[in-house]
């Protein structure tokens, strides 16, 4: 993280060089200096410093406090500064400069537009924001890897998602964090909100509640509903795995694949792996491998146990990981130990996707794995749903799809994987970067094609 220290420095008592030395010795990496005020005796400067832990930040501030002639006036964190006032805003497409325009955009003339839509509801797509607008809806029960937090506290994540929608795909997305844990109430609220939107992106809703909410909304609404933590993650994970398997020259149908964390993301990843040809997937949650000799309270786990784990393996992760070709973690930090990685098959693939801290850190795992991926942007091979949802919604909005089906998801996974050519592919480049400008158009095209082929695309031009 980057902190900005505002320092008041009394020039006769201390030099800037002395302060810089102390910052560096305390573990800070100085990246910028801005002069805020300059006088003959005193200077005020903002020093931007990269630090890698809260402890280092404290050490730096304490060390400066111990110096003569310098005081810390203010400490700010660049990430916090970026969030001041929130990250998005609503902008009008035209200005209102006179009474005539006022009466057109608003009453009385706007009434004619209302009545046109009243007579032909499909005109909402042409005459309102609906065709380019998505609701990003969360109840904040499984936010990143933070678990359940308040809806207010989840807003920065949803605002961030809205920024990504806009920047990468031109989609207008509204963050809506609901104060509700009740499944029926959430379904009712989202259905009531739906007329304003061309699609619903469900986000960070804990399992198993997320399954019921998504399935019901998919049935009861005529706009696409997509729980991103399930399907976005699954699509990107499959894309990454298809390319990682090319690197290791293994075939998905011959691989033993261990998925850890059988929640929203883990179940959807497993379904996509099975759809993509995997035959031996074993799911592990807190109490070990899901197997057919157990009955679970969670209905999805009963489905899972009967459709995976063909050898009915039992026991903890450390046991079922033995001989596995692939580990995919969507669970919690530091769940996978280096000993587990050493016990995997030749040239193993490890996707440690828990955010913000992965199941095993790449520094620890990399010497023993062929392909390593995380959900983070600060390591190679970022397997993160951000690669999928902008292109997916661009596609479904543009063809006015009423649903996002399995064919569209598989097409999106293949489109992502195909952005990397055979020549480019290597163990540190199995998945395109978020800023690769081919990703959104490729997903869009693939999704639209699959949408028309399967009859869910409704736009006729």
List, edge to edge, every strand of the sheet that includes 326-329: 288-289, 280-285, 256-260, 326-329, 349-352, 371-374
Q: CB of residue 375 vs ligand CC(=O)C(=O)O: minimum separation in angstroms?
A: 6
For ligand CC(=O)C(=O)O, give the closer residue by CB, 399 or 439.
439
Query: Closer to ligand NAI at the Cβ: 100 or 297?
Result: 297
One residue of 159, 214, 229, 427 binding Mg ion per CB under 5 A: 229
Give 280 or 331: the residue with its C-beta nearer to ligand CC(=O)C(=O)O.
331
Burial 311-350 (b: 16+ CB within 10 A, else e): eebbeebeebbeebbbbbbbbebebbbeebbebbbebbbb
**At its nearest, how many Å lie between ligand CC(=O)C(=O)O and the CB of residue 148?**
13
Catalytic residue list contains 125: no
Each residue 278-297 as x (binds ligand NAI by CB under 6 A) or -, in order, gives: ------xxx-----------
Question: Which residues ranging from 145 to 174 are in contact with ligand NAI (CB under 6 A)?
Answer: 145
Binding piece for Mg ion, criterion CB under 5 A, among 227-235, 240-248, 317-325, 358-366: 227-235
The least distance separating Mg ion from the CB of residue 232, rounded to whole angstroms, comes to: 8
- For position 214 contacting Mg ion by CB under 5 A, the verdict is no
452 noted as active-site residue: no
Interface residues toward ligand CC(=O)C(=O)O, by CB under 6 A? 144, 204, 228-229, 355, 375, 384-385
CA–CA separation, 431 vs 414, rounded Å? 11
| Closest approach of ligand CC(=O)C(=O)O to the CB of residue 444, in Å | 20
Among 25, 58, 73, 106, which one carries the catalytic annotation? Answer: 106
The least CB distance from residue 259 to ligand NAI, in Å, is 10
Binding span for ligand NAI by CB under 6 A among 107-115, 213-221, 274-282, 353-361: 353-361
Do 260 and 331 contact (CB within 8 A), yes or no?
A: yes
Minimum Å gap between C-beta 458 and ligand CC(=O)C(=O)O is 28
Q: Whose Cβ is closer to ligand NAI: residue 78's or residue 286's?
A: 286
Handedness of CA 327, 437, 79, 50 (dihedral sign): positive
The Cβ-side half-sphere exposure at 450, using a 13 Å CA radius, reads 22
Q: Which of 130, 161, 366, 442 is catalytic?
A: 161
- Please give the structure tokens belonging to residue 146: 């933070």
Single residue of 57, 138, 248, 384 touching ligand NAI by CB under 6 A: 384
Asked whether 382 and 358 are in contact (CB, 8 A), the reply is no
Query: Cis peptide leading into 108, omega within 30 of 0?
Result: yes
> What is the spatial distance between Cα 409 and Cα 167, in angstroms, rounded to a whole number?
22
Asked if residue 447 lies in contact with residue 411, where contact means CB atoms within 8 angstroms, the answer is yes
Extract the tokens encoding 249. 């020259």
- The H or E element containing residue 200 is strand 199-202
Q: Supply the DSSP string of 23-54, one letter for each residue.
A: HHHTT-EEEEEEEEEE-SSEEEEEEEEE-SSH
Catalytic residues: 106, 161
Which residues lie near ligand NAI (CB under 6 A)? Answer: 142, 144-145, 206-207, 229, 233, 260-266, 284-286, 330-332, 335, 353-355, 375, 383-385
């Amino acid at each position: 993280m980057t902190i900005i220290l505002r320092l008041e420095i009394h020039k006769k008592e201390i030099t800037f060089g002395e302060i810089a030395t102390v910052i560096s010795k305390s573990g800070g990496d100085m990246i910028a200096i801005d002069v805020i005020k300059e006088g003959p005796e005193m200077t005020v400067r903002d020093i931007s410093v990269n630090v890698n832990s809260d402890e280092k930040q404290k050490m730096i501030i304490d060390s400066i406090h111990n110096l003569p002639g310098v005081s810390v006036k203010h400490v700010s964190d660049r990430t916090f500064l970026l969030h001041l006032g929130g990250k998005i805003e609503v902008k009008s497409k035209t200005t209102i400069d006179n009474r005539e325009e006022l009466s057109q955009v608003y009453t009385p003339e706007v009434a004619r537009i209302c009545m046109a839509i009243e007579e032909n509801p499909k005109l909402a797509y042409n005459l309102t924001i609906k065709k380019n607008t998505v609701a990003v809806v969360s109840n904040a029960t499984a936010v990143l890897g933070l678990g359940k937090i308040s809806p207010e506290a989840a807003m920065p994540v949803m605002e961030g998602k809205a920024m990504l929608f806009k920047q990468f795909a031109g989609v207008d997305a509204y963050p809506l964090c609901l104060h509700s844990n009740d499944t029926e109430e959430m379904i009712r609220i989202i259905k009531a909100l739906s007329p304003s939107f061309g699609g619903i992106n469900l986000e960070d809703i804990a399992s198993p509640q997320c399954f019921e909410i998504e399935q019901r909304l998919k049935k009861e609404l005529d706009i696409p509903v997509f729980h991103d933590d399930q399907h976005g993650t699954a699509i990107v994970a499959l894309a990454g795995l298809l390319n990682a398997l090319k690197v290791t020259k293994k075939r998905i149908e011959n691989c033993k694949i261990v998925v850890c964390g059988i929640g929203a993301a883990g179940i959807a990843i497993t379904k996509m792996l099975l759809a993509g040809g995997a035959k031996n997937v074993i799911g592990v949650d807190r109490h070990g491998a899901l197997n057919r000799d157990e009955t679970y309270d969670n209905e999805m786990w009963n489905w899972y146990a009967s459709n995976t784990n063909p050898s009915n393996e039992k026991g903890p992760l450390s046991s079922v990981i033995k001989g596995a070709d692939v580990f995919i973690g969507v669970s919690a930090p530091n769940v996978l130990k280096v000993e587990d990685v050493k016990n995997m098959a030749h040239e193993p693939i490890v996707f440690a996707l828990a955010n913000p801290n992965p199941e095993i850190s790449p520094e620890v795992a990399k010497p023993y794995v062929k392909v390593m991926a995380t959900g983070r942007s600060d390591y190679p091979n970022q397997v993160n749903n951000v690669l999928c949802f902008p292109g997916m919604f661009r596609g479904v909005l543009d063809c006015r799809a009423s649903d996002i089906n399995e064919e569209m998801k598989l097409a999106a996974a293949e489109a992502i994987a195909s952005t990397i050519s055979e020549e480019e592919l290597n163990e540190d480049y199995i998945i395109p970067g978020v800023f690769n400008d081919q990703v959104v158009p490729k997903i869009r095209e693939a999704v639209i094609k699959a949408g028309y082929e399967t009859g869910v695309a409704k736009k006729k031009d």
